[in-house]
């Protein structure tokens, strides 16, 4: 069977040509409690400084999130999430640095109102860890906004997901969920060419299951959508390395990113921009060219 290559995404300063190279999404958590860098960038000033650092390190997309999604994280109010993310997006877009005025921004949210406010403030992409499930207005809102959406697989909520890891066929269930959400998004009016997928490493998955996803990533190509994977600094890497400090998992992250590139991933969601840019350049030279 010949698979159809997804159409490129046309963003404000770039075209994402899927399959040409691996694109990097740099994590910018404006939260006090994210698992790796909570509290480091939760003021406008520190967030903009980190955005500038990531942009200069060569990332393609800034992923800004105001709601922690680590295991056990408590859901914050809509007002609090808006207060965290909108001023940061506005400050990035009004910064004197050209790279911040033009870099692509994704908003990491499960709330339609946050997605809309973020796009109006200058974001370009919506990254929904619930795959459009948590907020019944999300898919119809995205159809009206006509912006790219990343749909991720998870079970439960961040508070309950690590008790929901019993799968009969892990990859079949991930693929089935994502296929269903793609169809629901299309039924709501979302352009299928604007949909990407994420298998949800670390979300309702055991450590061995995360490794299984990386090994079997090519199975998701049958959905004919761009694939994002987010292994960066996650606890399965700490489990392998016996490394409790997420910020000391850069080399383990590099190995996971190499595996994902060999499996045909399109976007890697990462914390360490310069290091993973080098990883991508070498891995792309091996597996893409």
Give the active site residues. 234, 269
Q: 84 with 31: CB under 8 angstroms?
A: yes
Report the alpha-carbon angle 241-173-125, nearest 5: 75
β-sheet bridge partners, residue 151: 128, 197
Q: How far is CA 111 from the centre of its chain?
A: 15
Q: How far is CA 167 from the centre of its chain?
A: 23
Beta strands in the chain (DSSP E): 9-10, 15-16, 23-29, 61-65, 104-108, 125-128, 149-152, 195-198, 228-229, 267-270
Q: Which residue, among 43, 46, 40, 181, has the nearest Cα to 110 in the 3D structure?
A: 181
Report the alpha-carbon angle 21-139-192, nearest 5: 40
Residue with tokens 């089935």: 176
């Amino acid at each position: 069977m010949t698979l159809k290559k997804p159409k490129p995404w046309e963003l404000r300063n770039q075209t994402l040509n899927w399959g040409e190279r691996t694109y990097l999404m740099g994590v910018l958590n404006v939260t006090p409690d994210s698992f790796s860098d909570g509290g480091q960038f939760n003021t406008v000033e520190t967030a903009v400084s980190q955005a500038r650092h990531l942009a200069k390190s060569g990332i393609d997309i800034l992923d800004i999130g105001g709601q922690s999604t680590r295991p056990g994280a408590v859901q914050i109010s809509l007002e609090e999430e808006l207060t965290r993310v909108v001023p940061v997006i506005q400050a990035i877009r009004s910064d004197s640095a050209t790279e911040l005025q033009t870099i692509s921004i994704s908003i990491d949210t499960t709330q339609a109102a946050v997605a809309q406010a973020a796009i109006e403030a200058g974001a370009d992409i919506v990254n929904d860890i619930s795959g459009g499930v948590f907020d019944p207005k999300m898919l119809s809102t995205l159809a009206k906004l006509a912006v790219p959406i990343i749909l991720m697989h998870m079970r439960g909520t961040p508070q309950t997901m690590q008790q929901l890891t019993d799968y009969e066929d892990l990859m079949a269930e991930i693929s089935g969920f994502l296929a269903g959400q793609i169809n629901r998004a299309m039924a709501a009016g979302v352009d299928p060419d604007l949909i990407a997928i994420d298998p949800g490493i670390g979300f309702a998955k055991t450590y061995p299951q995360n490794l299984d996803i990386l090994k079997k990533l090519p199975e998701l190509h049958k959905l004919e959508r761009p694939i994002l994977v987010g292994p960066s600094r996650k606890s399965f890497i700490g489990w392998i390395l016996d490394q409790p400090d997420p910020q000391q998992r850069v080399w383990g992250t590099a190995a996971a990113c190499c595996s994902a590139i060999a499996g045909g991933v399109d976007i890697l969601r990462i914390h360490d921009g310069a290091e993973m840019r080098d990883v991508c350049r070498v891995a792309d030279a091996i597996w893409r060219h």
